[in-house]
Amino acid sequence: MSLERKIWSEQFTEWFSEMLLKAEIADFRYPLKGCGVWMPYGFKLRKHILDIMRRLLDETGHQEVLFPLLIPEDLLAKEAVHIKSFFEECFWVTRGGSTEFDVKYALRPTSETAITPMVKLWVRSHADLPLKLYQVVSVFRYETKATRPLIRVREVTTFKEAHTFHRSYEDAARQVEEGVEIYKKFFDEICVPYLISQRPEWDKFAGAVYTYAFDTISPDGRSLQIGTVHHLGTNFTKAFDFTYETREGKREYPHSTSYGISERVVAAVMMVHGDDRGLVLPPNIAPIQVIVIPIPYKGVEEVVNEEAKKIVEELKAASIRAEADLREDVTPGSKYYDWEIKGVPIRVEVGPRDVERKEITLVRRDTLERTVIPRDKLVDGVKELMEKLQNDLRERAWKWLREHVHRTDSIEEARKLIDNRQGVVEVMWCGEEECGFRIEEGISGRVLGMPIDTKEEPKGNCIVCGKPAKQVIRIARAF
């Protein structure tokens, strides 16, 4: 059973900006383009998501650090490809008070060029490698495309960037695989389905040898890049003349990787599970997991209110994030409505009859199905339902994503699918850039790249030139 998802899909952009405010996630009315405010409820959601990311990184030997926000231009400019792409995307600080700086400073757009020269001071020999670091910081990008709350911002406030250094190309390649595994677990835990693709040469990260990207699909059929993992080879270490002493006493450049996510993942959680009533949050990251609503009848207000408070206490004692909505002069119906917008996974309704019969009525947010359990099974019942809901959300979202990945051997058909918001299309490609660009033109969209989550040999011919295909590639209209 699934609830109405008409507004959610047909007017997705409006749905998204309306829900951001109504659910009190973030307020982008701050008078500066691309900069927004995390509101208390949204901040908690963000925190639970970050907690998962930190745990996964800490478990795998990454260490958290904190680097300066400002990067002197000469550092940022060391790696030629990197600066070429990022120069126009930087906010530049040119003055302190009225004193013009000789060398201007960039507000970091990402931190390879801040971290590499410092790690160079810390690493002497092979014994110091690998070194795996990460930080969670604001980065600034002077985005010139239309900015969008959480999705394309100028101050990225939730940039988790990992930077790792290794003895060899192969070690770094294995690290890329570990990065991918960490992100898979992360997205599985927050119930966001994904496609993993190797970006084409013309769309890899500036300074990378290769880039793997995670994309999800929005309700209106566009792809959204929700994370990337880059093999940087020795591009940055060479640029900073960073060498280490090998076991044999030679000096070699370390190989590095970097991988990042941002608040886009919060947007992704909102967009993949929502419906016409509002957000639907996976229990493990929901700021409030259970909302308890008393249903008062004349004369028994006290009884149901007291019972509601008791239920909250018991749930809290079991580490379940529960709250009671005891507002007076607000009908239970309007309370349901408010908490449905906020996506609280489980609602407990407490009426006089529930109290009398020693029962608990649970309503799950995703399907609005109700179950009645014995009062003395409260904690177990809620835990069980949360787990079920979490798994159902993940499964439903994956099913939806899979239904929105198509195959075709005609560019017109691909264009039609993409125009009709049907999601991602996979086609055969000869591997020539020329044909890649023609595909992008033909569909007014993007080449997401070669699938690396499905191991499939290309069959047939390039959709453009008809030569034997070398790759399957995914294409989509991208955010």
Tokens of 368: 């609005």
- Out of 116, 135, 258, 390, point to the residue binding ligand 5CA (CB under 6 A): 258
Contact region for Zn ion (CB under 5 A) — 39-47, 145-153, 214-222, 424-432?
424-432
Binders of Zn ion in range 445-464 (CB under 5 A): 462, 464
- Given the complex with ligand 5CA, which of 213 and 430 has the nearer CB atom? 213
DSSP result, 106-121 = EEPSSSHHHHHHHHHH
Contact region for Zn ion (CB under 5 A) — 176-184, 233-241, 434-442, 444-452?
434-442
Q: How many CA atoms lie within 13 A of 79 on its CB side?
A: 27
The item of Zn ion, ligand 5CA, none sharing an interface with residue 465, based on CB under 5 to 8 Å by kind, is: Zn ion
Print the binding letters for residues 155-184 with ligand 5CA: x by CB under 6 A, - otherwise. Answer: -x----x-----------------------
Taking each helix axis as running N to C, give the angle between helix 264-273 and helix 40-59, from 0 to 180 degrees, rounded to the nearest 10. Answer: 110
Contact region for ligand 5CA (CB under 6 A) — 194-202, 219-227, 333-341, 403-411?
219-227
| Least distance between ligand 5CA and beta carbon 231 (Å) | 11
| Least distance between ligand 5CA and beta carbon 259 (Å) | 5
465: helix, strand or coil: coil
| Least distance between Zn ion and beta carbon 428 (Å) | 9
User: Could you tell me if 229 and 259 are in contact, meaning their C-beta atoms sit under 8 angstroms apart?
Assistant: yes
Total Cβ atoms within 10 A of residue 178: 18
| Least distance between ligand 5CA and beta carbon 206 (Å) | 8
Query: Does residue number 143 form part of the binding site for ligand 5CA (CB under 6 A)?
Result: yes
Query: Does residue number 141 form part of the binding site for ligand 5CA (CB under 6 A)?
Result: yes
Tokens of 349: 């309704």
Nearest-CA neighbor of 283 among 245, 250, 322?
Answer: 322
Query: Does residue number 103 form part of the binding site for Zn ion (CB under 5 A)?
Result: no
- Given the complex with ligand 5CA, which of 259 and 336 has the nearer CB atom? 259
- Out of 264, 277, 335, 396, point to the residue binding ligand 5CA (CB under 6 A): 264
Question: What's the burial of 361, exposed, middle or buried (CB within 10 Å: 0-12/13-18/19+)?
Answer: middle
**How far apart, in whole angstroms, are the C-alpha atoms of residue 148 and residue 263?**
11
The item of ligand 5CA, Zn ion, none sharing an interface with residue 153, based on CB under 5 to 8 Å by kind, is: ligand 5CA
202: DSSP letter:
G
| Consecutive H or E run containing 426 | strand 424-429
Nearest-CA neighbor of 476 among 265, 221, 196, 205?
Answer: 221
User: Could you tell me if 233 and 172 are in contact, meaning their C-beta atoms sit under 8 angstroms apart?
Assistant: yes
Q: Which positions lie near ligand 5CA, rule CB under 6 A?
A: 110, 112, 141, 143, 152-153, 156, 161, 205, 225-228, 230, 258-264
